[in-house]
Amino acid sequence: MTSDAIPFNRPYATGKELAYQGEALGNSHLSGDGAFTKRCHQWIEQRTGCAKALLTHSCTSALDMAALLLDLKSGDEVIMPSFTFVSTANAFVLRGAVPVFVDIREDTLNLDERQIEAAITPRTRAIAPVHYAGVSCEMDYMMAIAERNHLKIVEDAAQGVMASYKGRALGAIGDLGSFSFHETKNIISGEGGALLVNDPAMVSRAEVIREKGTDRERFFRGEVDKYTWQDLGSSFLPSEMIAAFLWAQLEQAERITHERLAIWDRYHAMLAPLEQSGLVRRPIIPADCQHNGHIYYVLLAPGIDRQGVLRELKNNGIGAVFHYVPLHSSPAGQRYGRVDGGLQLTTSLSERLIRLPMWVGLGENMQQRVCDVLGAILNK
């Protein structure tokens, strides 16, 4: 078989996307911050409790905005995992800051909160926890560290839409948070994202940064009689066509999450025997974390040839993939970043991880086939 009979991802549409885009066209308002954008903002604010939600072109641009809001200076440091997507680091490096990579926890693959304090220096300004697979970091512990050391917290909640920690929505716990609506995430608009501003003191500056550094937002609200260049900024707001698409997804976010969790739970049950025989380790969800079924991964037992397993899965028509190449081992990570402590778990766990097909509509029979083929490969 050459093409993937069971693809890794299949973007899900609710069916209302095109109708809402037609409505946006009918509104004769295609640039940003029209009726659909406002609906999306309200929805995120009500769901998460953040002070202000602002749609962006991507999670990457939301993180760029966060880095601008923190007023980072050259040489300032931001503590983050190395096991993450490049955007977590890039946003801060663009401001001249240094990503300081700290190891991850064995259970969740999230930044190890117990190793953060040892990495703090007089230049440390912020912590950027990443909620891997929509499973929360240990936020209370990190918030206490941030408070003691006067640091800001920027949550990379790209994967955390609809997930929570002790009942609090991911992205709305730290000072700032970011969502992704990229087509590979749970709730999508092709490309898309949002900045969640939780500190009310940062809201008006966030609006200015997003509107090319102008106070256009205040002008539209009638608070000033003309708008002018106020601050650093760029164009971070998506068009109404994107917001209209996103609205069709947010309306169904509850159901989409529910369906993903059902798929996740089925994999978890089907793969229990492989874990019992010691060939894989399944994901571990701490009691305080309500996840969102974003990723189903397994960690292959040490010594198993991951590339070989992925190749055989592919030969059987199954689209399984690995995940992050740790940033500290990448050319730009070595140029711009610094490592604190050993990153043994980051290195060893990232080399053992494979993600299984996960998308709304993935049927039980397809999942059974994925698990049967994986079992047959590993038991050979």
Ligand X SMILES: *Cc1c(COP(=O)(O)O)cnc(C)c1O
Q: Can you give the binding site for ligand X, defined by CB under 6 A?
A: 58-60, 84-85, 87-88, 130, 156, 158-159, 180, 182, 193
* DSSP for 219-262, written as a single string: HHTTSSSS--B-SS--B-PPPHHHHHHHHHHHTTHHHHHHHHHH
Closest CB to ligand X among residues 61, 252:
61
Nearest residue to 288 (alpha-carbon basis) of 166, 170, 168, 174: 166
CB of 28 to ligand X, least distance (A): 28
CB of 305 to ligand X, least distance (A): 26
Collapsing DSSP states into helix, strand and coil, what is residue 265?
Answer: helix
CA distance 209 to 149: 27
CB of 132 to ligand X, least distance (A): 7
Closest CB to ligand X among residues 91, 248:
91
User: Sign of torsion, CA 20 21 26 28?
Assistant: positive
CB atoms within 10 A of CB 59: 29
Q: Which two tokens stand for residue 20?
A: 């809402």
CB of 64 to ligand X, least distance (A): 9
CB of 263 to ligand X, least distance (A): 19
Residue 214 contacts residue 228 (beta carbons within 8 Å)? yes
For residue 78, list its beta bridge partners.
99, 126
Closest CB to ligand X among residues 60, 350:
60
Closest CB to ligand X among residues 195, 280:
195
